[in-house]
Amino acid sequence: MAAALTLPDAPIRVAVVDDHPLVREGTAALLGGIEGIAVVGTAGSVEDAADLIATSDPDVVLLDIRLGTESGLRLLGPAPRPAIIVVTSYDYPQYVEAALRLGAAGFVLKTAPVAELVDAIRRAASGGLAFANRPRAGSTAGPSARELDVVRLVIEGRSNDEVGAALGIGAKTVESHLRRLFDRFGVASRTELATRALREGWLDVPPG
């Protein structure tokens, strides 16, 4: 049986950060009708979110992973900060791992029922965690910092020689990195690797 939550007497102050206006304002309007929750503001970029957090002092921030061309995960970091719940459409293990590692209080998919989001907000406000999606045991490890450097240059269309020159390593070392990535992620070509990296937002996630 789950432990009872200790909720604050005052309404939970929530900020909504999402770069899609319909999602951002729709979520704010929806939460505004929930008893015990007060939406203190919305933002659509990393910069605006940082200003909103500094000026409105929310208890909980609902944070989309992708904010335009930037990663919302940049707002995660050392305390003190409000409890941050990552809210995303992307159900990828590396996002959950990064959110946990960087100190998020929760991780909720945008397809989740409203009740799940409200429960996550209340848990985060009471000092708890709300991770409906946790990394599965034995799940594929995300790319390392060096592997991400290689992938970034592959996406730019660089050859192995050009990647090696840019990173100060030999072409054979680049080939070794690519071979390990192919094996680990089940892809057969540089194009497949680049496509998967872009689809899953590898470059948005800080390396472990």
Task: Encode pLDDT of 11-37 as tens digits.
Answer: 999 999 999 999 999 999 999 999 999
Q: Other C-beta atoms within 10 Å of 87: how many? A: 24
Sign of CA dihedral 64, 69, 70, 71: positive
Domain residues of the chain, as ranges?
Answer: 12-131, 145-204
Of the CATH numbers 3.40.50.720, 1.10.10.10, 1.10.3720.10, 3.20.20.140, which one belongs to the domain with range 145-204? Answer: 1.10.10.10
What is the rounded distance in angstroms from the CA atom of residue 25 to the CA atom of residue 16?
A: 8
Residue 177: the pLDDT is 92
Equal CATH topology for 12-131 and 145-204: no
- pTM, two decimals, is 0.71
Query: Which secondary-structure segment (H or E) carries 44?
Result: none
Fold designation for 12-131: Rossmann fold (3.40.50)
Q: In whole angstroms, what is the distance from residue 145 CA to residue 142 CA?
A: 9
Report percent pLDDT > 90 for the chain. Answer: 59
What pLDDT is stored for residue 56 in this prediction? 93
Distance of alpha carbon 57 from alpha carbon 75, whole angstroms: 14
For the cut 80, the answer to whether the pLDDT of residue 9 exceeds it is: no
Overall average pLDDT of the 55-75 stretch? 89
Per residue in 101-147, pLDDT (tens digit) is 888 999 999 999 999 999 999 999 999 999 876 655 445 667 888 99
